[in-house]
Amino acid sequence: MSLTIDPATLTASAAADAIAAGTLTAEALTQACLDRIAARDAEVSAWAFLDPDLALAQARAADRSAPRGPLHGVPVALKDIIETFDMPTQCNSPIHAGRRTYADSAVAALIRAAGGTILGKAVTTEFANRHPGATRNPLDPTRTPGGSSSGSAAAVADHQVPLALGTQTSGSMIRPAAFCGLWGYKPSFGEVSRVGVFQQSGSLDTVGLCARSLEDVQRLRAVLTRIPYDPVAPLERAPRLALCRTPEWSEASPAAQQALEEATRRCEAAGATVTYLTLPSPTFDGWLKVHQRIANFEGARNFGHERHGHRHLISKALGEGRIRDGETTPVAAYVDAQRRAEAMRLWADDTLAGFDAVLTLSAAGEAPVGLSGTGSATFNSLWTLLYTPCLTLPFGKGPAGMPLGLQLVSERHEDERLFAAAGWVAAVLAG
Amino acid sequence: MSLTIDPATLTASAAADAIAAGTLTAEALTQACLDRIAARDAEVSAWAFLDPDLALAQARAADRSAPRGPLHGVPVALKDIIETFDMPTQCNSPIHAGRRTYADSAVAALIRAAGGTILGKAVTTEFANRHPGATRNPLDPTRTPGGSSSGSAAAVADHQVPLALGTQTSGSMIRPAAFCGLWGYKPSFGEVSRVGVFQQSGSLDTVGLCARSLEDVQRLRAVLTRIPYDPVAPLERAPRLALCRTPEWSEASPAAQQALEEATRRCEAAGATVTYLTLPSPTFDGWLKVHQRIANFEGARNFGHERHGHRHLISKALGEGRIRDGETTPVAAYVDAQRRAEAMRLWADDTLAGFDAVLTLSAAGEAPVGLSGTGSATFNSLWTLLYTPCLTLPFGKGPAGMPLGLQLVSERHEDERLFAAAGWVAAVLAG
């Protein structure tokens, strides 16, 4: 008996295995993704640039080539702030409309070196900030997919591409992944190259990714960090977990709160130890302001070209909001914020060393209705500031039937510990 | 009586003041720089790109414009890894020959917003690494100007331009400034935007600058950090200094050792307290290897486009040296290096808080004879790793009559404390 499966529905790992086994070609996989996009693009609008001929040409080249690595023949979408030599990078800003760059970003080059292809550029909010793009949540087109990695998450969730890269400065990867029912991953700060990625905040920006399985997350991470692809096995023992509701717990929806409590209860029932983690005062007092000060101070300077050459083309929200705020932040306030952030990180290093993972919320709830915003980053910015690796895995639904996410966090630079714990938790929650 | 002064010999501050007073035009200043370059370029070879018409057009635009800021009408050279929209950025690599980018780097935009103009691109070593360019030391063309900011230092020292930007990942700004008899400055890590600057190591790269006076250093720093230009007065009281010879003391020339001891003695005689600072074990054991591991691991990934698309065009020294080393560095070794670096920084934060500045060497000695290398970064990499602000000021001569530098270092993010201390030290040494 034979089973007909649309290749576009395969995970990246399953597709790569099929290509390696000779049962699928890169061209057929790419064509299936393009067919899915053609059928769905009017509703989802996930793409800032897509050239089917260029995508297919890359796929055919992969089919002609000897195996190059763990993504051989697998298409990947790049958030449209990540440069490639063969496509424009437009940052969802008229300032960069049609802009083509000379070179691949480091991550694009690493994906190609591992045999992967670049399907196209996924919609971002303006400069990966807050002003939204046209992308809709594929699970409910009246709702935001989240942001700023909006198109990245929507395209992967809608089976238009198996993998996508985004970035996170506050909550721009974890939140859209959660809103779209995906696995999302923000690596430990500094481990993935940002060369050729539009920069908002050198102290906070992190390349992230979304996928439809934990295995795919690990496969793409190995490519981006250029280490052997060697997936981490789920923990065999029950993990030491910390439940962190954060001081912003009251901002979460009842459904999100319940999902986190339920996940914690199930992990405990399966043998995990759970410690209730609170952020100590005064170290964490005003942590959100600390994050904003760093992001805005740096952003106001990083947007030098745009501010001084094209200010009238910057959205009012960005130009009169974060940029203006950053312009008027004194250096002493920035330095104070940096020192406070470092003290928070030292606390996190010490404290998280005692746990396999922290359980916390990925977002305040379901993806909100409407496309004028992308949701709140309240439950993400803290961990971005702390430089910790973060994963969101889909767990539960809200009252509208939209997915919720559970966020797991480990000590910085312990990304493999995070994967092991997440594998255990996902198995318990699926069981 | 009137005195005829070649405008090219003015400091940036004197030139800006003269332009503001209407006694000098930006065009006349730029023409004087171009005349100096025409007379000296065959010997010094400091420029990777120079278009006199473009430089003069910028100067004339400044002359037509209302005053825009503290660099109004002042030309600045940019190391040829720093992008501008109107000139190529070639990184001294055939891979990037003729490459033009879309946008200004943030620092170029900030210089223009402050009224400054971009005179041209100054020679860098290949990718701001070690493979040298053609630039010679203007004080002795048989000697290296240092690197990797080779052209930046040579052009400023030779009165071809009053100010230049470079970058430092190991010792690429402080060392060439010292070899050429200049003031050089590496700001606290993270305070100056690196948007549009070719990246080697996200954890270490810092934009730096060189100038012919401390006032000029502060003026350009204000522009780059977009803070009001408000020069710091020299300390009125005698400073608390720390003398740090570093474990690499034996690698320094007798002349460099003597200059540091002499400077210390004079500061003490003028009332400074001097503490002898040693780097504690085991925190600092193998610190140089820690620096190299971080730089090489990150560099191997950051050079993704070059490695995977154009590897045969990378110099053997870089491709088979640092890149190969970085490719074979395990993630665990990188993480260990990051953690060790952070422990070193915490020690430095605590320890340097007790001093106005550390006195240490800027380089192992005079600029070496020959153009096949750019000298050792041994006396620079430590402070780059520690994220501290660093200044080199010219003090003393070596046996060949070439300048030596005295390096001052303060606690990270205390750049203004460093300027105050440096003003005091410079006055004592001049007295």
Residue B109 to residue A304, Cβ atoms within 8 A = yes
Q: Which residues lie closer than 8 Å to A59 by C-beta, 6 or more apart?
A: A25, A26, A27, A29, A30, A31, A73, A75, A117
Helices A214-225 and A106-113: angle between axes, nearest 10 degrees: 110
pLDDT digit string (tens) for A146-173?
A: 999 999 999 999 999 999 999 999 999 9
| C-alpha–C-alpha distance, residues A140 and A142, integer Å | 5
A210 forms beta bridges with: A164, A184
Q: List, as one string, the DSSP characters of B253-314.
A: -HHHHHHHHHHHHHHHHTT-EEEE--PPTTTTTTHHHHHHHHHHHHHHHHTHHHHHHHGGGS
**Minimum Cα–Cα distance from A193: chain B residue:** B302
| C-alpha–C-alpha distance, residues B316 and A184, integer Å | 39
Q: Which residues lie closer than 8 Å to A316 by C-beta, 6 or more apart?
A: none
| C-alpha–C-alpha distance, residues A37 and A47, integer Å | 9
Handedness of CA A48, A54, A56, A62 (dihedral sign): negative
- Sheet of strand A183-186: strand arrangement: A47-49, A117-122, A75-79, A163-168, A206-211, A183-186, A390-397, A403-409, A357-361, A240-243, A273-276
Residue B106 to residue A331, Cβ atoms within 8 A = no
Residue B273's domain comprises 240-283+337-430
Q: What angle do CA B388, B389, B393 make, to 5 degrees?
A: 130
Q: Which residue of A99, A102, A334, A410 to mutate against B (max B Cβ within 10 Å)?
A: A102
Which chain B residues contact residue A103 at CB under 8 A? 96, 99, 305-306, 309
| C-alpha–C-alpha distance, residues B103 and B84, integer Å | 6
Parallel, antiparallel, or unpaired: how do β-strands A240-243 and A47-49 relate? unpaired
Burial state string for B288-306 with b = 16 or more CB within 10 A and e = fewer than 16: bebbbbbbbbbbbbbbbbb
Shared domain for A197 and A81, answered yes or no, is yes
The residue to which tokens 């670096």 are assigned: B341
| pLDDT score at B4 | 85
On whether residue B366 sits in a domain, the answer given is yes
pLDDT digit string (tens) for A175-197?
A: 999 999 999 999 999 999 999 99
Shared domain for B124 and B265, answered yes or no, is no
Nearest beta carbon to residue B301 from set A106, A202, A304: A106
On whether residue B302 sits in a domain, the answer given is no
Cα atoms found within 13 Å of the Cα of residue A110, Cβ hemisphere only: 29
Shared domain for B141 and B197, answered yes or no, is yes
Q: Total domain count for chain A?
A: 2
On whether residue B235 sits in a domain, the answer given is no
Which chain B residues contact residue A314 at CB under 8 A? none
**Closest C-alpha to A375, from A207, A155, A151, A172:** A172
On whether residue B315 sits in a domain, the answer given is no
Handedness of CA B22, B24, B27, B28 (dihedral sign): positive
Residue B46 in contact with residue B75, Cβ under 8 Å?
no
pLDDT digit string (tens) for A91-147?
A: 999 999 999 999 999 999 999 999 999 999 999 999 999 999 999 999 999 999 999
Q: What angle do CA A326, A330, A331 make, to 5 degrees?
A: 100
Q: Which residues lie closer than 8 Å to B370 by C-beta, 6 or more apart?
A: B142, B143, B144
The DSSP letter of residue B231 is P
The complex's ipTM?
0.94
Instruction: Please pick, among B45, B79, B150, B152, the residue that the annotation labels catalytic.
Output: B79
**Closest C-alpha to B99, from B91, B90, B108:** B90
**Minimum Cα–Cα distance from A105: chain B residue:** B305
State the nearest Cα–Cα gap between B24 and chain A, in angstroms. 26
**Minimum Cα–Cα distance from B329: chain A residue:** A227
**Minimum Cα–Cα distance from B107: chain A residue:** A304
Shared domain for B123 and B173, answered yes or no, is yes
Helices A26-44 and A12-21: angle between axes, nearest 10 degrees: 150
Residue A352 in contact with residue A188, Cβ under 8 Å?
no
In this structure, which amino acid lies at residue A346? L
Q: Residues A180, A182, A187, A193: what is their CA dihedral angle, to the nearest 10 degrees?
A: -70
Residue A220 in contact with residue A163, Cβ under 8 Å?
yes
Residue B202 to residue A196, Cβ atoms within 8 A = no
Catalytic residue at B172? Answer: yes
| pLDDT score at A3 | 66
Residue A194 to residue B199, Cβ atoms within 8 A = yes
pLDDT band per the 50, 70, 90 thresholds, residue A63: very high
On whether residue A133 sits in a domain, the answer given is yes
Q: Which residues lie closer than 8 Å to B267 by C-beta, 6 or more apart?
A: B238, B239, B241, B274, B359, B425, B428, B429
On whether residue B162 sits in a domain, the answer given is yes
Question: What is the token pair recorded at A289?
Answer: 């302001």
Shared domain for B174 and B261, answered yes or no, is no
**Closest C-alpha to B152, from B192, B221, B71, B209:** B209
Which chain B residues contact residue A206 at CB under 8 A? none
Indicate the average pLDDT of chain A.
97
> Left, alpha or beta for B114 (phi > 0: left; psi -120 to 50: alpha)?
alpha
Residue B307 to residue A225, Cβ atoms within 8 A = no
Which chain A residues contact residue B96 at CB under 8 A? 102-103
pLDDT digit string (tens) for B344-389?
A: 999 999 999 999 999 999 999 999 999 999 999 999 999 999 999 9
Parallel, antiparallel, or unpaired: how do β-strands B206-211 and B117-122 relate? unpaired
Q: What angle do CA B265, B266, B272 make, to 5 degrees?
A: 85
Q: Which residue of B93, B111, B193, B324 to mutate against A (max A Cβ within 10 Å)?
A: B193
Shared domain for B144 and B271, answered yes or no, is no
State the nearest Cα–Cα gap between B276 and chain A, in angstroms. 27
pLDDT digit string (tens) for B138-165?
A: 999 999 999 999 999 999 999 999 999 9
**Closest C-alpha to B360, from B420, B236, B277, B268:** B277
pLDDT band per the 50, 70, 90 thresholds, residue A327: very high
**Last-in-domain residue among A179, A198, A225:** A225
**Minimum Cα–Cα distance from B191: chain A residue:** A298
Contacts by residues B327-333 (CB-CB < 8 Å, ≥ 24 positions apart): B327/A226, B327/B300, B329/B293, B329/B296, B329/B297, B329/B300, B330/A227, B331/A191, B331/A225, B331/A227, B331/B297, B333/B293, B333/B297
Q: Give percent above pLDDT 90 in chain A.
A: 98
| pLDDT score at A4 | 85
| C-alpha–C-alpha distance, residues A77 and A91, integer Å | 14
Residue B305 to residue A106, Cβ atoms within 8 A = yes
| C-alpha–C-alpha distance, residues B261 and B284, integer Å | 23
For residue B324, give the 3-state DSSP assignment.
helix
Shared domain for B39 and B186, answered yes or no, is yes
Handedness of CA A104, A110, A112, A118 (dihedral sign): negative
Mean pLDDT, residues B244-268 taken together: 97
Shared domain for B246 and B161, answered yes or no, is no
B408 forms beta bridges with: B359, B391
State the nearest Cα–Cα gap between B293 and chain A, in angstroms. 13
| pLDDT score at B3 | 66
On whether residue B74 sits in a domain, the answer given is yes
State the nearest Cα–Cα gap between A15 and chain B, in angstroms. 24
pLDDT digit string (tens) for A350-393?
A: 999 999 999 999 999 999 999 999 999 999 999 999 999 999 99
pLDDT digit string (tens) for B300-311?
A: 999 999 999 999
> Where in A95-204 does DSSP place strands (E)?
117-122, 163-168, 183-186
Shared domain for A265 and A218, answered yes or no, is no
State the nearest Cα–Cα gap between A303 and chain B, in angstroms. 7
Residue A410 backbone phi and psi in degrees, to 5: -125, 175
On whether residue B291 sits in a domain, the answer given is no
Please name the residue ranges forming H helices in A353-406.
381-386
Nearest beta carbon to residue A301 from set B226, B306, B335: B226
Residue A342 backbone phi and psi in degrees, to 5: -65, -40
| pLDDT score at A2 | 63
State the nearest Cα–Cα gap between A148 and chain B, in angstroms. 20
State the nearest Cα–Cα gap between A133 and chain B, in angstroms. 23
For residue A367, give the 3-state DSSP assignment.
coil
Burial state string for A112-126 with b = 16 or more CB within 10 A and e = fewer than 16: bbbbbbbbbbbbbbb
Mean pLDDT, residues A283-307 taken together: 96
pLDDT digit string (tens) for A1-33?
A: 566 899 999 999 999 999 999 999 999 999 999
Mean pLDDT, residues A406-418 taken together: 98
Shared domain for B43 and B99, answered yes or no, is yes
CB pairs under 8 A between A and B: 137
Which chain B residues contact residue A346 at CB under 8 A? 346
**Minimum Cα–Cα distance from B337: chain A residue:** A413
Q: Which residue of B207, B301, B410 to mutate against A (max A Cβ within 10 Å)?
A: B301
Q: What is the CATH number of the domain that holds B244?
A: 3.90.1300.10
| pLDDT score at B2 | 63
Residue B301 to residue A194, Cβ atoms within 8 A = no
Residue A137 in contact with residue A178, Cβ under 8 Å?
no
Supply the residues of A annotated as catalytic.
79, 148, 172
Parallel, antiparallel, or unpaired: how do β-strands B117-122 and B273-276 relate? unpaired
Mean pLDDT, residues A26-43 taken together: 98
Question: What is the token pair recorded at B334?
Answer: 């990188």
Residue B301 to residue A226, Cβ atoms within 8 A = yes
| C-alpha–C-alpha distance, residues A82 and A119, integer Å | 13
Which chain B residues contact residue A99 at CB under 8 A? 102-103
Which chain A residues contact residue B302 at CB under 8 A? 106, 193, 195
Shared domain for B89 and B122, answered yes or no, is yes
**Minimum Cα–Cα distance from A100: chain B residue:** B102
| pLDDT score at A431 | 85
Instruction: Please pick, among B105, B148, B201, B381, the residue that the annotation labels catalytic.
Output: B148
pLDDT band per the 50, 70, 90 thresholds, residue B273: very high
Which chain A residues contact residue B107 at CB under 8 A? 304
Shared domain for B220 and B365, answered yes or no, is no
Mean pLDDT, residues A64-82 taken together: 98
